[in-house]
């Protein structure tokens, strides 16, 4: 009996592998193969010359393209795009998740005609970014659109320039980039340290204190001694122009977050809500202390999907702000232009690789968490 079970299991394992094989092969070629292709291209100088020849000459130049992107003054736009990416992703995530959660909580009570409200909040997802980008471009044009709304109520026209805005807050100087990174690392370590202090995990407290110490040393002692990475000052920060684009993105995808959270809230059995009520908890307490903590897995899944969507922001930014607005720039737009407008294929490939790694960062916490929850507890 056991032998035939073992045989059966092996046969099934074989089936599984065979069925997965096409997917593995396809993803292997079309994802990993192409990524390899892009990485290789980024290490050459393809495009510095007759880029479009039938057999272009590509010389291996190592990390030169990456050095150009991070430290040459012609690529200050790319560096701002990188800073923008961080803000785009964070603001889009927070915006959609918060608005989605809010809408889900609003709809969680038994409302009449819930279907209509749900459809109204969900329908923006049906549109393509290009369509919604074009419409929002009109809505956020400084001399028309949203700025005219105060005039309907007798007020003055709003003066905020939205996508044309040149204002920037939270500025820092790229010459101090190592220090900035050190400080960010330090803040991260301190947060983890505080979490571990709360958990009273002695071993981890010691580890994270040491790491924090190293970061502090790096940021405040070593960095001032390093020569500046750029010849002249270069300011970067949060461009207020991206707010317009975030609004469009949040409008489009908060419905999806709402659907997720609504499903999650409904999934919490009704009896929990009843017993909470009986214990005297009012709505606010129920939501904050009971419902929301249970939605953590949903949030994690939503984060992965929204990160996937934020890569497609290319269409939205392109339609709303056009190709050359440096304030709303994103590496995907710049990569597209560098490759297809300037014919600098290798430089574009380097941008693409950086973009890919940035995006992949979002999958790592998800994977770690998913692995942990699937492995049996120690």
Partner 1 sequence: MNKVKVKKSFYYFWMIVLCIMFLTPVYMAIITSLKDPAEINLTTSWKWPTILNFNSYSKAFKLLKPNFINSVILAVSGTVISSFVGAINGYIFSKNKFKGSELIFTLLLFGMFIPYQIILIPLFQVLKTFGLYGSLTGLIFAHVVYGIPIVTMLFRNFYDQIPDSILESGRIDGAGYFSIFTRLMLPLSIPSFVVVGIWQFTQIWNEFLWGICLTKQSSNPITVGLSQLAGGQAVSWNIPMAGAILSALPVLAIYIFLGKYFIQGLLSGSVKE
Partner 2 sequence: MKKMLVMLMVVFLVMGFAFAEAQQETMSEQTIEKVIKTNVMASGDLEIFSWWAGDEGPALEALITQFKGNYPKVNLINATVTGGSGVNAKAVLKTRMLGGDPPEAFQVHAGQELIGTWVNSDRMLDLTPLFEAENWFEVFPEDLINLIGTDEGIWSVPVCVHKSNVMWYIPANLKKWGVTVPTTWDEFFAVATKLQAKGIVPLSMGALWTANENWENIALAVLGVDDYNALWSGDLAWTDAKVEKVWMTFGKMLDLTNKDASSMSWQQATDMVISGKAAFNFMGDWAAGYMMTTLKMVPEKDFGWANTPGTTGAFQFLADSFGIPKGCKNPTAAVAWVSACGSKAGQDAFNPLKGSIPARTDANMSLYSVYSKSAAMDFANDSIVGSLAHGCVANEGFMNDFNSVMDGFMKNRDAKAACLACAEIAETNGMTK
Options 66, 76, 105, 125; binder of partner 1; rule CB under 8 A: 125
Does 51 interact with partner 1 (rule: CB under 8 A)?
no
Q: Are 216 and 91 in contact (CB under 8 A)?
A: no
Q: How many CB atoms lie within 10 A of CB 46?
A: 24
**Distance in angstroms (rounded) separating the CA atoms of residues 7 and 320:** 60
Task: Give the H/E segment covering residue 169.
Answer: strand 168-173
Options 267, 272, 289, 323; binder of partner 1; rule CB under 8 A: 267
Does 2 interact with partner 2 (rule: CB under 8 A)?
no
Does 361 interact with partner 2 (rule: CB under 8 A)?
no
Q: Is 286 exposed, middle or buried (0-12, 13-18, 19+ CB in 10 A)?
A: middle
Does 169 interact with partner 2 (rule: CB under 8 A)?
no
The 3-state DSSP class for residue 172 equals strand
Q: x/- binding map, residues 327-346, to partner 1, per CB under 8 A? A: -----x--xx--x-----x-
Which part of the chain contacts partner 1 (CB under 8 A), choosing from 89-97, 162-170, 223-231, 262-270? 262-270
Virtual CA dihedral for 254, 91, 239, 316, nearest 10 degrees?
-40
Options 2, 4, 23, 74; binder of partner 2; rule CB under 8 A: 74
Does 134 interact with partner 2 (rule: CB under 8 A)?
no
**Distance in angstroms (rounded) separating the CA atoms of residues 166 and 170:** 13
**Distance in angstroms (rounded) separating the CA atoms of residues 85 and 197:** 32
Residues 10-29 that bind partner 2 (CB under 8 A): 24, 28-29
Q: Which is nearer to partner 2, 167 or 277 (CB)?
A: 167
Cβ within 8 Å of residue 197, ≥6 positions away: 205
**Distance from chain centroid for Cα 116:** 30
Does 20 interact with partner 1 (rule: CB under 8 A)?
yes
Residues 300-329 that bind partner 2 (CB under 8 A): 318, 321-327
Options 6, 24, 98, 187; binder of partner 1; rule CB under 8 A: 24
Does 50 interact with partner 1 (rule: CB under 8 A)?
no
**Residues in contact with partner 2 by the rule CB under 8 A:** 24, 28-29, 32-41, 47-56, 73-77, 137, 140-143, 161-164, 166, 318, 321-327, 336-338, 340-344
């Amino acid at each position: 009996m056991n032998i035939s079970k073992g045989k059966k299991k092996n046969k099934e394992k074989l089936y599984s592998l065979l069925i997965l094989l096409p997917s593995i092969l396809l993803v292997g070629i079309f994802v990993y193969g192409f990524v390899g292709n892009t990485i290789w291209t980024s290490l050459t100088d393809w495009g510095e010359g007759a880029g479009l020849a039938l057999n272009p000459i590509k010389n291996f130049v190592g990390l030169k393209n990456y050095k150009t992107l991070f430290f040459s003054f012609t690529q200050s736009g790319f560096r701002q795009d990188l800073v923008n990416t961080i803000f785009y992703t964070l603001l889009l995530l927070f915006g959609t998740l918060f608005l989605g959660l809010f809408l889900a909580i609003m709809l969680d009570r038994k409302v009449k005609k819930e279907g209509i409200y749900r459809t109204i909040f969900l329908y923006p997802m049906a549109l393509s970014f290009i369509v919604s980008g074009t419409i929002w471009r009109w809505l956020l044009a400084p001399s028309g659109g949203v700025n005219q709304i105060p005039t309907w109520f007798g007020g003055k026209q709003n003066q905020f320039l939205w996508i044309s805005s040149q204002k920037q807050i939270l500025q820092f100087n790229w010459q101090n980039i190592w220090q900035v990174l050190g400080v960010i690392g330090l803040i991260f370590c301190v947060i983890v340290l505080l979490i571990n202090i709360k958990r009273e995990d002695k071993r981890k407290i010691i580890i994270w204190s040491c790491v924090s110490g190293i970061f502090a040393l790096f940021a405040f002692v070593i960095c001032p001694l390093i020569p500046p990475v750029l010849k002249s000052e270069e300011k970067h920060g949060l461009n207020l122009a991206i707010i317009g684009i975030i609004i469009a993105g949040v409008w489009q995808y908060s419905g999806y977050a709402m659907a997720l959270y609504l499903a999650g809230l409904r999934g919490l059995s009704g009896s929990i809500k009843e017993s909470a009520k009986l214990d005297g908890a009012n709505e606010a307490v129920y939501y904050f202390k009971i419902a929301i903590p249970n939605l953590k897995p949903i949030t994690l899944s939503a984060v992965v999907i929204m990160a996937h969507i934020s890569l497609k922001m290319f269409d939205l930014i392109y339609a709303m702000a056009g190709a050359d607005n440096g304030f709303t720039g994103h590496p995907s737009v710049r990569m597209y232009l560098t490759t297809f407008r300037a014919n600098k294929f290798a430089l574009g490939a380097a941008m693409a690789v950086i973009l890919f790694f940035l995006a992949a960062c979002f999958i790592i916490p998800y994977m770690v968490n998913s692995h942990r929850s699937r492995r049996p507890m120690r």
